[in-house]
Amino acid sequence: MPNQTLLKRFLIWRYKHISQKNFVFLLSIIIGLLAGLISVIIKNITFGIEWFLETITFSNNSFYFIFPIIGLWLVYLFVKHISKQRIEHAIPSILFSLSKKDGLLKRNKIYLPLITAPITAGFGGSVGLLGPAIASASAVSSNIGQLFHIDRKTRTLLISCAAAGAIASIFQSPIAAIIFAIEVFSLDLTFASLLPLLLASVSSVLTSYFFVGDGVLFSFDVSDKFVLKDTLFYIALGVGTGIGSIYFYKIYFLVYSFFNRFKTSKQRLIVGGLTIGVMLYFIPPLYGEGFGFINDLLHNNYIHALGKTPFDSHLDNIWVVIALLIGITIFKAIAMTTTFAAGGAGGIIIPTLVMGSALGNVVAKVINNIGLNFHVSEANFTLIGMAGLIAGVLHAPLTAIFLIAEITGGYELFVPLMITVSMSFIITKNVIEHTIYTKELAEKGALLTHDKDQSVLTLMTLDSVVEKNFVALHPEMTLGEMLHKGVAKSSRNLFPVINENKQLVGIILLDHIRDIMFDQSLYESTTVETFMQSPPDFIQFEKDSMKVVMRKFQSSGAWNLPVIKNEKYYGFVSKSKLLTAYRRELINFTK
């Protein structure tokens, strides 16, 4: 009670002395600081686990076979006995919350990713930490918004600030963080949204600087400038990363489909853990996040990047090296998805960077060694390969360009970045409409986009427009009973006809019986079944999105459509109420 009284006093003081705009600015700074702190914590916990395991095993590859199973088993025990909450993918769960739960995230989402993700990645799970950091920071932001009674639209902005802050802290890239929030969270680029995102990103970067210094994530200086004659090669890299992005998407859902065949979590854990262990034994760079692998490629130290493998004696042959890098390109996506499907927690952005760096390096090495006297910068192709894959996998081309430019300090590569990223994005977008993040949300009708009409429909809920004040009739009722028990007691001119199981079998419109309703000779000789007719269409409560509902009204020309829930009559939706709700939501969304 004392805490609630104090909060009320603060809220009253805030309403009197701090404007809503300035209060949002203040909250965005606080959220940025907290997001930066969360990112530092999750990285340090993971690095601590990795350091401990390396210390006790002396980096012996043989232990890579067993570590993933141990990590997945620890996560399984934690989820089953402590958290009792199934692991969700970070960004899709946030996007679903924004569209269908008013941006409300549970408090346990704050700490759960800080435990499950470091255990998964620290023990060798081939996943990233950025997604879990975004999830935790977003949960902090959501709960702060609830504490201070922030409205839904502002809460969405603050959650986007949390995501931007996590990215800015991990990659020390504030501009890319802002663009990511706009591209992935479908924010409008206005001053009202831009300034809070900027404040959150800057405060998060400063937090990162305070704890880990101001060095860029990848130590790299651009020594080979872009030359015009390499344009075709960068176009080829764009095509390659576009194909790689499509492969990434396809293999993700294919692996999940395979693991869904197993009936229990334990079976998925054992099969997944053993599979990851085998891959790590033969391809050690698949272990964990893989930042060290990228840095080694950038410095042309591919021997160290590949680690100890059964093929060490053949690494003097460049084509063996290329084959191993191709293996990393192919198996990184498989290892990552297997980790998820087996019960691990993590993100996909950093694995995408690892796969892109390997693919870019492969393309450069092939160009340089096919014997046609071509030469390109392998380091530059490594960088730009990362951007190409990010653009294709996330459908976020601007994020890809600025992310790679910022984390490497390589702004000199803007032109080749734009060439490769645009090619990759065009190819992927023409083949795949949605990303790994958004596919299932789009199928549920829960995806927010930059299309305002579509977003407004997504934010609307069917339950809010269903009307239930209709008098139900039964097929065996006589005309007289219908008039006395139905028409006389209803203000509506529409009547659902339901059977004993409450299933809709037809409807009756008052206009259709008006010419005979006063003919008393029919009161006992005719029944409701005689006059009822089939509705022009049905609305399936569990299946139909608001976009589908709108389409059904348009195609049927009806003013009212019945709603079926669990195969039983539930109510009606009227076109007038639907359009009124749409206009109201549109005003709230755009104000």
Mean pLDDT, contiguous 10-residue spans, the chain (591 residues): 70 78 91 94 91 74 77 91 83 81 85 93 89 93 88 87 92 88 76 86 90 67 78 94 95 93 89 89 84 86 80 81 92 93 91 94 93 87 94 92 79 87 95 85 64 61 83 85 80 85 86 76 80 86 82 83 90 83 66 53
Distances 588 to 192, 269, 584 between C-alpha atoms, Å: 15, 45, 6
CB atoms within 10 A of CB 422: 17
For residue 448, the model assigns a pLDDT of: 59
User: What is the model's pLDDT at position 591?
Assistant: 53
Domain locations along the chain: 2-212, 228-444, 454-590
The answer to whether 255 and 334 have CB atoms below 8 angstroms apart is yes
Helix (H) or strand (E) holding 479: helix 479-481
For residues 545 and 94, what is the distance between their CA atoms, to the nearest angstrom? Answer: 19
DSSP letter for each residue of 178-230: HHHHHHHS----SHHHHHHHHHHHHHHHHHHHHHH-S--SS-----S---GGG
H-type helices in 123-190, by residue range? 130-147, 152-171, 174-184
Please list the alpha-helical segments (H only) found in 58-107: 67-78, 90-100
Q: Quick one: CA dihedral 40, 41, 44, 46, positive or negative?
A: negative
The contacts of residue 285 (CB under 8 Å, 6+ apart) are 293, 305, 306, 307, 328, 354
* Cα–Cα–Cα angle for 32, 411, 191, rounded to 5 degrees: 40
Topology (CATH) of 454-590: CBS-domain (3.10.580)
**Amino acid in the structure at residue 491:** S
Locus of tokens 């995230």: 105
Whether 423 contacts 242, CB under 8 Å: yes
Residue 201, pLDDT score: 93
Within a 13 Å sphere around the CA of 67, how many CA atoms are in the beta-carbon half? 28
Decide: 153 and 96 in contact? Cβ < 8 Å. no
**DSSP 8-state symbol, 289:** S
Region of residue 316 (phi > 0: left; psi between -120 and 50: alpha; otherwise: beta)? alpha
Fold matches, 2-212 and 228-444: yes
Task: Give the Cα separation of 571 and 539 in Å (integer).
Answer: 10
Instruction: Spell out the alpha helix ranges (H) of 58-83.
Output: 67-78
CB-based contacts of 414, cutoff 8 Å, min separation 6: 401, 405
* Model confidence pLDDT, tens digit, residues 188-241: 666 677 899 999 999 999 998 888 776 656 666 666 777 888 899 999 999 999
| Nearest residue to 285 (alpha-carbon basis) of 259, 304, 269 | 304
> Is residue 492 helix, strand or coil?
coil
Q: What is the pLDDT of residue 445?
A: 66
Distance CA 520, CA 524 (A): 8
Closest CA to 383 of 417, 425, 333: 417
The class (CATH top level) of 2-212 is mainly alpha
Q: Which pLDDT value is given to residue 577?
A: 83
Which pair of tokens denotes residue 513?
């019986």
Third-level CATH fold of 228-444: Clc chloride channel (1.10.3080)
Is the C-alpha dihedral spanning 133, 136, 139, 145 positive or negative?
Answer: negative
pLDDT, residue 189, reads 65
